[in-house]
Amino acid sequence: LYSGRAAKRVLIQSLWLSLVFQISQVLLNLALARAVGLQISPVTIWWAAPFLSLAALLPIGIGGLGVREVAAMQLLRGYNLPGNLILIWSLLWQATVWLSSLPGGLWWRGNQKR
């Protein structure tokens, strides 16, 4: 396992990588929202994106489909945003998650045949 100094370095690297990932998710969601005409503040995206990602992990949908959309509609309805745009934004986000997972899934499938 890790000793004191090595553990601290791994922890700091992990924190930085998670911060970079979360910032990339916020920027992606902000770009997707703007692309569909959803006027939502970056601050709202900053707290909503991680929450909606967690909601999608609930084991009541297939790959988070439907769960994230319902959570987004409920969460953002108080911001006076059009429901159809929230739904389109959430579905686009789901599509990017699935598309970005596709290379790893294909790699895994290729390695299962060996």
Backbone φ and ψ for 39, nearest 5 degrees, come out as -90, 95
pLDDT in tens, 50-81: 899 899 888 887 877 899 999 999 999 889 99
User: What pTM was computed for the model?
Assistant: 0.79
Q: Computed over its alpha carbons, how large is the radius of gyration of the chain?
A: 17
Question: What pLDDT, on a 0 to 100 scale, did the predictor assign at position 70?
Answer: 94
Does residue 98 surpass a pLDDT of 90?
no
At residue 30, what is the residue type?
A: L
Q: Can you give the pLDDT at residue 17?
A: 95
Q: How would residue 30 be classed by pLDDT, with cut points 50, 70 and 90?
A: very high
Query: What confidence tens digit (pLDDT) does each residue in 4-29 have?
Result: 888 888 899 999 999 998 899 899 99
Q: Determine which helix (DSSP H) or strand (DSSP E) holds 100, and give its type and residue range.
A: helix 83-112
Residues in the chain: 114
Query: What one-character-per-residue DSSP string does 49-62 give?
Result: HHHHHHHHTSTTSB
